[in-house]
């Protein structure tokens, strides 16, 4: 999810979907699209990103990244990702 339309590509009208954010507030998406995310210095396209006007931080779903074949590792004060080389 993002509140910044300039980060998005292939933007289209989508279902208005409501989400509850960390402070308990309900927010609603107005559009859906894709965005490029840099992982390990390389761009990857993540689809089905919701545009939520007024959202102050970008939120990325770990399942969305793992579907692209990346492993996400959470460590103290950092998050790392890597592309699996397993076949």
Q: What is the pLDDT of residue 22?
A: 83
Of 3-12, 20-29, 66-75, the range with the lowest mean pLDDT is 66-75
Read off the pLDDT of residues 15-25 as tens digits, 9 standing for 90 and up: 899 988 888 88
Read off the pLDDT of residues 41-58 as tens digits, 9 standing for 90 and up: 778 888 889 999 988 888
Whether the predicted model's global pTM rises above the 0.75 cut: no
Domain count, the chain: 1
H runs (alpha helix) in the chain? 62-66
Q: How far apart are CA 79 and CA 76, in angstroms?
A: 8
Average pLDDT along the chain: 82
Confirm if 17 and 29 have CB atoms less than 8 A apart.
yes
H/E element, 36: strand 31-39
Segments forming the whole domain that contains residue 66: 5-83
What is the separation, in whole angstroms, between the first and last Cα of the chain? 31
């Amino acid at each position: 999810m993002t509140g910044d339309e300039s980060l998005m590509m292939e933007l289209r009208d989508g279902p208005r979907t409501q989400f509850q954010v960390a402070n308990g507030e309900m927010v609603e998406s107005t559009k859906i699209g894709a965005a490029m995310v840099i992982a390990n210095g390389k761009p990857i396209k993540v689809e089905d990103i919701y545009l939520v006007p007024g959202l102050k931080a970008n939120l990325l779903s770990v399942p969305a990244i793992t579907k692209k074949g990346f492993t996400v590792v959470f460590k103290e004060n950092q998050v790392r990702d890597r592309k699996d080389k397993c076949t």
